[in-house]
Amino acid sequence: MKTQVTKHNFFLTMILFLLVFTISSIMVVNAEGEETGISMEENGLPVTILDEPIPLAELPFRNVVLLLTEGENYNVDLSENGKLSARAWMKQNGITFEKNFAESVDPASASGTVFTGLLNGEIGEYKKTIGQMMLAAGYYTAYKGVFPKSTPELASLDGFGFFDWTPITDATTANNQEIASDTIAWLKDTGAVKNENGQSFFLVVNFASLLDNVPSDPEEFNKAYLQSLQENDKLVYDILLTMNDLGLLHDTIILMTSTTTANALNALQTKTVNVNTIRTPMMIYHPSFGGGQTVQNITSQRDLAVTLLDLTNVEDFLKTMIFGDLPGKSLIPYLAGEGSLIDESGKVVTISESGVPLAEDPFGDSIPFSDPTLSMDGVITNQYMFTRNNSTNERFLYDLNEDPDGVKNLAADPAYADVVSTLEKQLTGE
């Protein structure tokens, strides 16, 4: 399959040219980090990231690769016989966010949050998306795999900020091998060449859902899910290995996450949500920072777009020009060991049966709920998770410190009445 590279819309090109010119005139490359990756395993990937400084290549800023899956749980034993080598490598060489949450169990809504940085944001042509953002920041943007808004009529991602795209017409796991192969070919034929010519790239690789064709029987479900996860991991490992062989790992930041969990379907069916239905994996590899650390603070998928923008080293006023005042928090301070500087206020989690947002977000990019009684929503703080089912008026409260898996519902316990009241007010904005 040949890569489609379409021509820029003239009007959009002129705007982006002016903006990129302004950015490039003030852009500074972060020279404070240290990196290495010389120690090698027999299979070819670096074992550890040490402290020897390796200079950044002749690029304006580091490449960024976003690896996405759908339907992956966070609590996977990465050490089991080395069957998840890619994820184990990311954990060893990157930063793992142990309490990262999707803000919807609905795949469309969750993808909207990832791609826009807004709670259930709408992914639309010429709307603010991570593709538009990174393009405006001066990156060459490319997209491989399943696009959330794919239709047979969608022939281009120009309006979404990706001018280099290979269409995938059948979003099933059967095509994941094709997605990986296309990504590897692109890294060799385009990504590495762009870097040689002094151009940084932003690449999104979005694999089909791990739950495609997974049976509903619990025992068979778990077996098929793990097999699907292992197959995906092998493909991701091949991509990482290619990046290493091409010398790209030294100059590339890699973010790896899942838009939803494997347990999200159950939440939609039962209209209840607990920790395991929205807790998703999130790992970031950054050549400038040491690996192997974990972050126990609450983070969410709404933080992803802000983090991507923060990686560009664009001045704050230009970030606002490019993407507005996004509500998420950048995860970069965690990588630098400065997580204490981040505001640890509660994260709002919106769950809806139909995938339609409960209310408009501050930027007006979401459609309001026509019937609030169909929704589930909630608030997560570093100690508590509070959710409510508006169709049954049920309330759920879990103490994440004492009950990290969210098993014991404390909402009806009189001792927690004040906690429920406080979190419900936070949820409703009172």
Residue-wise pLDDT for 173-204, tens only, equals: 778 899 999 999 999 999 999 999 999 999 99
Query: What are residue 353's phi and psi, to 5 degrees?
Result: -65, -40
Structure confidence at residue 63 (pLDDT) = 95
Q: How many residues does the chain have?
A: 430
Reduced 3-state DSSP string for 232-301: HHHHHHHHHHHHHHCCCHHHEEEEEEECCCCCHHHHHHHCCCCHHHHECCEEEECCCCCCCEEEEEEEEC
Rg for the chain, CA atoms, rounded: 21
> Are 291 and 35 within 8 A, CB to CB?
no
* The pair of three-digit structure tokens given for residue 126, joined into one six-digit string: 């010429």
Q: How far apart are CA 217 and CA 128, in angstroms?
A: 40
Question: Cα dihedral angle (358, 361, 367, 368), rounded to 10 degrees?
Answer: 40
Burial of 34 (0-12, 13-18, 19+ CB in 10 A): middle
* The pair of three-digit structure tokens given for residue 399, joined into one six-digit string: 């103490």
What residue spans define the domains of the chain?
A: 34-341, 347-428
Q: How far apart are CA 259 and CA 107, in angstroms?
A: 7
pTM of the model: 0.79
Quick one: CATH architecture of 34-341? Answer: 3-Layer(aba) Sandwich (3.40)
Burial of 25 (0-12, 13-18, 19+ CB in 10 A): exposed
Q: How far apart are CA 95 and CA 29, in angstroms?
A: 21
Structure confidence at residue 290 (pLDDT) = 80
Q: How far apart are CA 403 and CA 418, in angstroms?
A: 19
406: nearest Cα among 282, 299, 276? 276
Q: How far apart are CA 262 and CA 359, in angstroms?
A: 26
**CATH T-level assignment (fold) for domain 347-428:** Arylsulfatase, C-terminal domain (3.30.1120)
Structure confidence at residue 242 (pLDDT) = 96
Structure confidence at residue 393 (pLDDT) = 80
Distance from CA of residue 248 to its chain's centroid?
A: 21
Query: Which regions in the chain score pLDDT beneath 70?
Result: 1-58, 75-82, 120, 124-126, 149-153, 169-171, 263-274, 338-375, 429-430
CB atoms within 10 A of CB 374: 16
